[in-house]
Amino acid sequence: MLRVVVLTSGGDSPGMNAAVRAIAKMGAARGVRVFGALEGYEGLIDGRFRELTRTLSDGSTSVDPEVEAAGGQGGTLIGSARSARFREAEGRALALRQLVSLDATGLVVIGGNGSLGGAHRFATETGFKVMGVPGSIDNDIGCTATSLGVDTALNTIVEACDRISDTARAHRRAFVVEVMGRDCGYLAMASAVAMAADAVLIRESGKTEAQLVGDVAQVIRTGFARGKRRVLIIKAEGVAVPCTRLVRLTEEALLPELPSLELRATVLGHVVRGGNPSYLDRAVAGRLGFAALGGLLAGATDEMVAWLPPVQGGRVTDDSSVQRFPLARVLEETQSLIDGSSPLAQRRLKLMSQAAGVLSL
């Protein structure tokens, strides 16, 4: 009976459990035993495996009930970690030995840029069959329109900002809300549009501290002058100025004009990562999980399954919404998203620039 290993690596994201469940369920249906490597690449190197399927007394294969139940939960049942050891050739060689000892024939890696980079190196060095699934709430992975956790994170941000807006209007206050997004401001941009925020601050704009303070001060000045009771600015964590410092500098700049200004900083932090996955994240996770295992069983390797890809050249699958792309290309597209040279990144920035005057109204 074939054996396949799945792991979740790097930052966790809602939907990882749903993808693991889908891979286990498809494996059980195809007579494949599916194992989870605990704590990502670290568990792979140490040979810490947990079987996610079960062989029943009649010889058939089923899914572990805990795996079945975890599909609707956030986090990751099999654990996640960042592995310095896997970045070294010796660590990858140990991982290969563990897979061979288990008699595994394929590996599914669910994670972000670093995790998929490790998967690519492992596949090219060892020849072992590897398939990637994009899992990152930042939506900073190339070749895919979304990755696991993005929709849930946005829903969490919107709900938090709704609550903040309630109290802001009650007291006529301004808030700067920081959301995750170290290298990519997608969460800030998308949530700002959904919330009709007054402004959005993203790393990609390349503004200096003085420019950011000036922009925030002007938005607050104009907003209250127009009779608003709530001014909301959403900031991506990738913006170099800390949220509390930005608020303090803005208060100092506005003190002569608005001595009674109440400006607050709220950092959502890891709240954005947690929570049960939304319908969309569960559905996308299931379909990407099916496609990933299906690709491995068909002999594909060193690829990533992508949802509604915004670029051309992917390999079609039985699912019209899912295509497979070589991991090398995914990593190239990801880097161009991060450094801003990607046409997609430039379109996002242009759109936000055009929307700036609308958001502030």
DSSP notation for 297-342: HTT--SEEEEES-SSS-PEE-SSTTEEEEEHHHHHHHHHHHHHT-S
Assign residue 307 the CATH number of its domain.
3.40.50.450
What average pLDDT does the segment 250-270 reach? 95
Please report whether residue 345 resides in a domain: no
What gap in Å lies between CA 108 and CA 133, rounded to an integer?
7
Please report whether residue 108 resides in a domain: yes
Please report whether residue 359 resides in a domain: no
Does 9 share its domain with 124? yes
- 223, 247, 273 — which closes off a domain? 273
In this predicted structure, what is the pLDDT of residue 165?
Answer: 98
DSSP string, 134-190: EB-TT---TT-S--BTHHHHHHHHHHHHHHHHHHHHHHTEEEEEEE--SS--HHHHH
pLDDT at residue 177 greater than cutoff 70: yes
- Residue 354's pLDDT band (cuts 50, 70, 90): confident
Does 244 share its domain with 286? no
pLDDT at residue 361 greater than cutoff 70: no
pLDDT at residue 357 greater than cutoff 80: no
Does 70 share its domain with 134? yes
Cα-based distances in Å from 139 to 30, 37, 66, 186: 31, 24, 28, 7
Cα-based distances in Å from 290 to 9, 55, 247, 344: 19, 20, 46, 27
In angstroms, how far apart are the furthest CA atoms of the chain? Answer: 80
Helix (H, G, I), strand (E, B) or coil at 3: strand
Per DSSP, 49 falls in state E
Per the CB < 8 A criterion, the answer to whether 136 and 285 are in contact is no
What gap in Å lies between CA 277 and CA 269, rounded to an integer?
17
Please report whether residue 310 resides in a domain: yes
Does 40 share its domain with 185? no
Q: Which residues pair with 325 in a beta bridge?
A: 304
pLDDT in tens, 272-292: 999 999 999 999 999 999 999
- Residue 233's pLDDT band (cuts 50, 70, 90): very high
Assign residue 157 the CATH number of its domain.
3.40.50.460
Please report whether residue 355 resides in a domain: no
Please report whether residue 215 resides in a domain: yes
What gap in Å lies between CA 164 and CA 145, rounded to an integer?
29
- Long-range contact list for 94-97, CB < 8 A, 24+ apart? 94/45, 95/41, 95/44, 95/45, 95/122, 96/122, 96/126, 96/128
Pairing of strands 106-111, 3-8: parallel
The residue range of the domain holding 256 is 152-273
Does 55 share its domain with 107? yes
pTM of the model: 0.95
Per the CB < 8 A criterion, the answer to whether 179 and 164 are in contact is no
Does 165 share its domain with 259? yes
Least Cα distance to 7 among 66, 47, 63 occurs for 47
The rounded percent of the chain whose pLDDT value lies above 70 is 99
Does 156 share its domain with 119? no
Does 106 share its domain with 250? no
Does 91 share its domain with 204? no
Does 122 share its domain with 139? yes
pLDDT at residue 353 greater than cutoff 90: no
Does 44 share its domain with 157? no
What average pLDDT does the segment 326-354 reach? 90
pLDDT in tens, 41-69: 999 999 999 999 998 888 888 999 999 99
* Total domains present in the chain: 2
Which residues participate in catalysis according to the annotation? 138
* C-beta neighbour count of 355 within 10 angstroms: 14
* Phi and psi at residue 114, to the nearest 5°: -65, -40
* Phi and psi at residue 200, to the nearest 5°: -135, 135
pLDDT in tens, 136-164: 999 999 999 999 999 999 999 999 999 99
- 254, 273, 292 — which closes off a domain? 273
What gap in Å lies between CA 10 and CA 192, rounded to an integer?
26
Q: Which residues pair with 232 in a beta bridge?
A: 175
What gap in Å lies between CA 107 and CA 119, rounded to an integer?
9
Please report whether residue 360 resides in a domain: no
Please report whether residue 111 resides in a domain: yes
